[in-house]
Structure 1
Amino acid sequence: MAVFTEVSAAQAQALLDHLSLGRLTSLRGIGAGIENTNYFVDCEHGHYVLTLFERLTAEQLPFYLRLMQHLAQRGIPVPEPHADAAGEILFEVAGKPAAIVDRLHGGHQLAPDAFHCAQVGATLARMHLAGQDFAMHQPNLRGLAWWQRVVPQLLPFLDAGQAGLLTSELAYQEQLAASARYADLPRGPIHADLFRDNVMFEPGEGPGRERLTGFFDFYFAGVDTWLFDLAVCLNDWCIDLTDGRLIEERASVFVAAYESERPLSGAEHRLLPALLRAAALRFWVSRLYDLHLPREASLLKAHDPSHFERVLRERRAKPWHALHGEAAE
């Protein structure tokens, strides 16, 4: 259940009036989601999602909301926040920071094939290019600095093999991040959490030919290397969920579609195996953290960390090179 704060029809109508969106016709809580309160809002002027932010503060939110607005205004299919007459997009409802955004059509594709991966890959590249001139800056808050701070806190909860893997991989990523070749990677705003449940599709022409309708849930976004964003996607969209193995066909199609919009540099191709490891480490660390060191009064139900431990072990044992689908040297 994702309705942690109850919103009355009168409270929703007050926000609609402020935004000149007309009369409320339906207000329904959304059961999906684990961090925020979400409602479907239907009104005279359209169909929207109302989000009350349970974790992020009013000071933290402008980066995420303005990024969504920036991308939407450049034709990227993301939910656009609605602004009032003064241009404000962050409000207060029931004592919580809140925003109302366009509702995407369709549903999740949790068993994607190469056709879905191609659409996500191409749209991801267009999103990266569209964000190049976004004026606000925030680092990836779940990047290397966070891993360095959190990993020592996690080690007492792990067995010797897990602790050795975690410290070894962190050292590898620290060395990589300090290198000139890493510093030269192109970067900009990234989604940083574009898993299968953060993309929507709707039926298209022909059976199984769904059309991508948008990316959403940008609340882990930050400025980082575009290659890291690509690696996060490959580690979810293009793997066997039972063992973490990268599925060659899907991964090759995903990268080719991305490159149809933004070709990777030689350095990006060479460092992709390392960034696949970094992306696996990021989610293994965060899941370990949520399990063993949950935030006080957290609304988050911890995911199983062992999934991304398996993914990391796979990426270390079998590096994948996108140019040829072979192990990188």
Structure 2
Amino acid sequence: MAVYTEVSEREAGALLQALGLGELQALRGIEGGIENTNYFVTSSAGEWVLTLFERLTHAQLPFYLHLMKHLAQHGVPVPEPQAKPEGARIPAGEDDILHTVCGKPAALVNRLRGKSELNPGRAHCAAVGDMLARAHLASRSFDRRQPNLRGLAWWNETAPAVLPHLDESQAALLRAELAYQNHVAAGSAYAALPRGAVHADLFRDNVMFAGTPEQPELTGFFDFYFAGVDSWLFDLAVTLNDWAVDLPTGATDAPRTRALLDAYQAVRPLTDAERRLLPAMLRAGALRFWISRLWDFYLPRSASLLTPHDPRHFERVLRQRVAAPLALP
């Protein structure tokens, strides 16, 4: 259940009125998600998703919301935060697209068409690769800055907390991979990687499709609340580690990998440094999610209402990425 704060029809209607989005026709809580309260909202002007942020603050949210707004305005299909009318009074702590509902920071975005594809084929992977490259190019002109808060510094900080819960083989793998990633990050090739705002969590359940399995239409990326500034290669690696692996084993799925990479590079060809470091970044992406799932599994927050993901999946992906590095032609 992802309705932690009850929103009344009066409160939802008041927000719609303040944003000039018509009269409320329906309000329905969304079951699912992890940390935020979500509602489907129907008004006389369209279909929307209302999110109340239960952990992120008014001060933390502008980077994420303005990134979504920027991408939407540059032709990337993402939920676009709806703005207050020009000249409207902006209360303290808010801005034009950050609002307050029931005392919580809130955003209202357009509802995407379609559904997530949890068993993607090559056509889905190609569509994701194409749009991810377009999002990276669009982020070049995004001027807000926030580091990837789940990047290398967080891995170094969090690893000691999860190590006591691992067996000897797992602990050895974690220590060795963390040392390797620190070594990579200190090198000149890593420093040369193109950077910008990244999604950093573009898994299968964060993309929507319409159309058919043979001819899918990618209708949007969503859930940008792990976004930050990092290398675009890391973002690509995180995406490949979910869309183009065999879930039971963690092994590379070669046809889906090729489809995603070819489509990405048709829009934004990888630099020499990126081609050289893709195997290392695939390992980095697996390490990031192995550590975070270990953390969620062994050190869960008391407020969490969902069963944490099994961390062994990304342990398998990491072992596969170490044993069989991806070779680009």
- Provide the TM-score with structure 2 as the length reference: 0.96
Q: Which residue of 2 aligns with 1:95?
A: 103
Q: Which whole-Å deviations, capped at 9, do the CAs of 1:54-95 have from their partners, x for residues lacking one?
A: 121111100000000000011100000000024611111122
Q: Which residue of 1 aligns with 2:160?
A: 152
Q: Which whole-Å deviations, capped at 9, do the CAs of 1:227-246 have from their partners, x for residues lacking one?
A: 00000010000011000011
Answering whether residue 268 of structure 2 is matched by residue 262 of structure 1, we say yes
Alignment partners' CA distance in 2, 1:294 and 1:309: 19
Answering whether residue 210 of structure 2 is matched by residue 202 of structure 1, we say yes
Local SS of the residue matching 2:235? helix
Q: How far 1:300 moved relative to its partner?
A: 4.8
Q: Which whole-Å deviations, capped at 9, do the CAs of 1:169-211 have from their partners, x for residues lacking one?
A: 000000000001100000100000000000000125xx63221
Equivalent residue letter for 2:177 = E
Percent identical pairs in the alignment equals 63
Alignment partners' CA distance in 2, 1:203 and 1:125: 21
Equivalent residue letter for 1:210 = P
Q: Which residue of 2 aligns with 1:26?
A: 26
Alignment partners' CA distance in 1, 2:285 and 2:211: 31
Answering whether residue 185 of structure 2 is matched by residue 177 of structure 1, we say yes
- How is 1:87-236 mapped onto 2 (pairs within 5 angstroms)? 88-204=96-212, 208-236=214-242
Q: Which whole-Å deviations, capped at 9, do the CAs of 1:103-128 have from their partners, x for residues lacking one?
A: 10000110000000000000000000
How large is the Cα RMSD of the aligned pairs?
1.1
- Provide the TM-score with structure 1 as the length reference: 0.96
Q: Do the aligned residues in 1 keep the contact of 2:113 with 2:210 (CA within 8 Å)? A: yes
Q: Which whole-Å deviations, capped at 9, do the CAs of 1:250-279 have from their partners, x for residues lacking one?
A: 101100100010000111111100000000
Local SS of the residue matching 2:50? strand
Local SS of the residue matching 1:117? helix
The farther-off stretch of 79-88 and 41-50 is 79-88
Equivalent residue letter for 1:260 = A
Q: Which residue of 2 aligns with 1:327?
A: none
Q: Which residue of 1 aligns with 2:259?
A: 253
The farther-off stretch of 33-42 and 297-306 is 297-306
- How is 1:7-18 mapped onto 2 (pairs within 5 angstroms)? 7-18=7-18
Alignment partners' CA distance in 2, 1:178 and 1:294: 32
Alignment partners' CA distance in 2, 1:180 and 1:300: 41
Local SS of the residue matching 2:141? coil
Q: Which residue of 2 aligns with 1:297?
A: 303
Q: How far 1:297 moved relative to its partner?
A: 2.1
Alignment partners' CA distance in 1, 2:45 and 2:240: 38
Q: Which residue of 2 aligns with 1:83?
A: 83
Q: How far 1:35 moved relative to its partner?
A: 1.7
Q: Which residue of 2 aligns with 1:38?
A: 38
The farther-off stretch of 13-22 and 298-307 is 298-307
Alignment partners' CA distance in 2, 1:63 and 1:319: 34
Equivalent residue letter for 1:76 = V
Equivalent residue letter for 1:216 = F
Alignment partners' CA distance in 2, 1:251 and 1:55: 35
The farther-off stretch of 1-10 and 75-84 is 1-10
Equivalent residue letter for 2:214 = G
Q: Which residue of 2 aligns with 1:60?
A: 60
Residue ranges of structure 1 left out of the alignment (5+ in a row): 325-329
Q: Which whole-Å deviations, capped at 9, do the CAs of 1:132-181 have from their partners, x for residues lacking one?
A: 11110000000000001000111111111111100100000000000011
Residue ranges of structure 2 left out of the alignment (5+ in a row): 89-94
Which of the numbers 278, 286, 291 marks the counterpart of 1:280? Answer: 286
Alignment partners' CA distance in 1, 2:37 and 2:247: 28
